Amino acid sequence: MTPADLKKDVTHRMDSAVEALKKELSGLRTGRASANLLDPVQVDAYGSSMPLNQVGSISVPEPRMITVQVWDKGMVKAVDKAIRDAGLGLNPQSDGQLIRIPIPPLNEERRKELSKIASKYAEQARVAVRNVRRDGLEHGKKLEKDHVIGQDEQHKLADELQKLTDAHIKKIDEDLQAKEKEIMQV
């Protein structure tokens, strides 16, 4: 593996950690309805567990309402149960094959709790980025030891990996700040 390949691999893995954080943060509920809110919901359907978006269409007709149009009439009860059991604090109401899910406004305590959860997700992402940096540095040292690159090149590589790490952690912090601002907005 060349230093350029190593840098590309490290960048890709750090980008993946940031993307994973964005996905986790999008699932955190703010006061507004979002179809992403139902991403973690798994429905027991046809003998297996499948994502909610594979048994119905999810839409957001208004800021505090999510609707799920269930495709199979026999799955309405299973979808309703899955949403209730997902631990999202949501209370779905069935109307034929349409399930309406009102989004209750957040109280101050819940906002602080969601903020802490967002911080925890961000810290996990930071740790993931640092672990990728550590792996990259170890790989760089191995390349030097195997005489693929020189000592100067290895130091240059280490500096570049640190800059990549700093940039990704900055991005994580920005995403966290934006999410906390969104959560605390009344």
Q: Mean pLDDT of all residues in the chain?
A: 88
What is the per-residue pLDDT for 114?
Answer: 83
What is the per-residue pLDDT for 29?
Answer: 66
Residues 6+ apart with CB under 8 A from 5: none
The sign of the CA dihedral 91, 54, 15, 134 is: positive
Banded model confidence at residue 24, pLDDT cuts 50, 70, 90: confident
Q: Between 96 and 185, where is the model more confident?
A: 96
Token reading at 81: 């149960």
What is the per-residue pLDDT for 129?
Answer: 96
Q: What is the pLDDT averaged over residues 59-76?
A: 88
Domains of the chain as residue ranges with CATH: 3-27+107-184 (1.10.132.20), 35-102 (3.30.1360.40)
What is the per-residue pLDDT for 47?
Answer: 85
DSSP state of 36: G
Q: Are 68 and 99 in contact (CB under 8 A)?
A: yes
Q: What is the pLDDT averaged over residues 2-26?
A: 90
Banded model confidence at residue 177, pLDDT cuts 50, 70, 90: very high
Instruction: Work out the number of other CB atoms within 10 angstroms of the CB of residue 89.
Output: 11
**Residue with the two structure tokens 């030097």:** 144
Tell me the Ramachandran region of residue 68: left when phi exceeds 0, alpha when psi lies from -120 to 50, beta otherwise: beta
Distance CA 57, CA 42 (A): 14
Q: Are 43 and 82 in contact (CB under 8 A)?
A: yes
* pLDDT tens digit sequence for 26-61: 777 666 677 777 887 888 888 888 888 888 999 988
Banded model confidence at residue 130, pLDDT cuts 50, 70, 90: very high
What is the per-residue pLDDT for 136?
Answer: 93
Q: Is the pLDDT of residue 138 over 90?
A: yes
Token reading at 89: 């604090």
CA angle, corner 56, sides to 52 and 61, nearest 5?
100
